[in-house]
Structure 1
Amino acid sequence: MNLHRLLSAAERARVVDRPAGAVAKGLRKLLRNSRVDGALRGSWLGHPVHPLLVTLPIGAWVSAAVFDFGFGQPQTARRLQALGLAATPPTVLLGLADYSGLDTTQRRTGALHALGNAVGAACYLAAWRSEDRTVNRVWSLAGLLAVSAGGALGGHLSYSQGAGVRRWESVPFQRRPPVGDPAAAGWEPAR
């Protein structure tokens, strides 16, 4: 099974539909008719802000692994783990604002993306709290693995499913049907 097909399987994870729909509905209700909604979703920038902000925790955590395993600097690694954890709440907030505008198929992928990243952040919190270097390393590697999976799903959500793409343009973006969908055969973008 290739990676694209594996990521596309998230689009068919109907088991998350009920909780994912309830979360999106609650977020829409909370953010409805609010200037804050547009600001959180990037109306001032012309595209979502969440994908930009994710570089902070991911970059900090990847750098932590480099400093720990590559340069033997566990204290620097712990500081970078803390930086990633500090950047997580605003990143989650912006992701939730974007989540409120997703369709059902995108919400499935988004829910699994969020779950993977939540597991990753929890692993990094456990790593950061541990005084034992071996335990820290195990938790941080588990966190990096989970965040990598979550990030791959986030990339699929943005690039393959078109979440947030051209949302403020007058002509809406047409998303390609999910892989394996009978409608995918013969699909062509609108002209």
Structure 2
Amino acid sequence: MMLPRLLRASESVDRLDGVAEKLAHRLRRVLRGNVLDKALRGSWIGHPAHPLIVTVPIGAWVCSAAFDALGDREAARRLIGIGALTAPAAVVTGLAEYSRLSTVQRRVGLLHLTANVAAQACYVTSHRCRSRGSHSAGMLWSALGLAAVATGGALGGHLSYALGAGVYEWQEGPEH
């Protein structure tokens, strides 16, 4: 199958190493294991928060496609807005996790981030088009956004399940 090969190939994109290392280094410098780092990484639930947080924008955007298919333009537009407003929380929690990744994981992580930033840009553009009455252009931007978020999701899944990013990095959770 072609998708697993493409996902494995993302591990070899060593041209990203310089940018990826600089980003990780800067994030480590800012976070340094402080309270903010622990909170963003999920100390309040005892495991990485990023997988939990991403469900909101992804869910909103997928549901917006369903409402587009049903012809409810206003519900689709509102869901796109909800996704766009909640995506930054997913980015911030993901960046906190990114700061602790290995070199190969950072390569895939940077591609994952890029795909999801592209998705966010597409959905913000879609929302603007729809708000100005251009529903067909909005639907086109949404379709591009859905393709980008699916790509980002596939890379994120590969990062977690194939490369073990964030796995067994349990944190002290809330006391009982």
Q: Could you say which structure has the higher helix fraction?
A: 2
User: For the aligned residues, what is the CA RMSD?
Assistant: 1.1
- Give, as a single letter, the amino acid of the residue that structure 2 aligns with 1:53: I
Structure 2 SS opposite 1:151: helix
Tell me the TM-score normalized by structure 1.
0.85
CA distance in 1 between counterparts of 2:83 and 2:170 reads: 30
**Mapping for residues 54-65 of structure 1, pairs under 5 Å:** 54-65=54-65
Specify every segment of 5 or more residues in structure 2 that has no aligned partner in the other structure, as ranges.
172-176
Structure 1 SS opposite 2:137: helix
**Mapping for residues 2-17 of structure 1, pairs under 5 Å:** 2-17=2-17
What's the CA shift for 1:39? 1.4
1:110 is the counterpart of 2:109: yes
Cα-to-partner distance string for 1:39-78 (whole Å, 9 max, x where unaligned): 1111332211001111111100010010011x11001000
Specify every segment of 5 or more residues in structure 1 that has no aligned partner in the other structure, as ranges.
170-191
Greater Rg by CA: 1
Cα-to-partner distance string for 1:122-146 (whole Å, 9 max, x where unaligned): 0001100002011001000000000
Which residue in 1 is equivalent to 2:71? 72
Which residue in 2 is equivalent to 1:138? 140
What's the CA shift for 1:103? 0.5
What's the CA shift for 1:2? 2.6
Cα-to-partner distance string for 1:84-135 (whole Å, 9 max, x where unaligned): 0010111111000000000000000000000000111100011000020110
**Mapping for residues 154-165 of structure 1, pairs under 5 Å:** 154-165=156-167
Cα-to-partner distance string for 1:140-187 (whole Å, 9 max, x where unaligned): 000000010011000100111000111138xxxxxxxxxxxxxxxxxx
Tell me the TM-score normalized by structure 2.
0.92
4+ aligned runs moved over 3 Å, structure 1: none
**Mapping for residues 31-46 of structure 1, pairs under 5 Å:** 31-46=31-46
What's the CA shift for 1:35? 1.4
Which residue in 1 is equivalent to 2:174? none
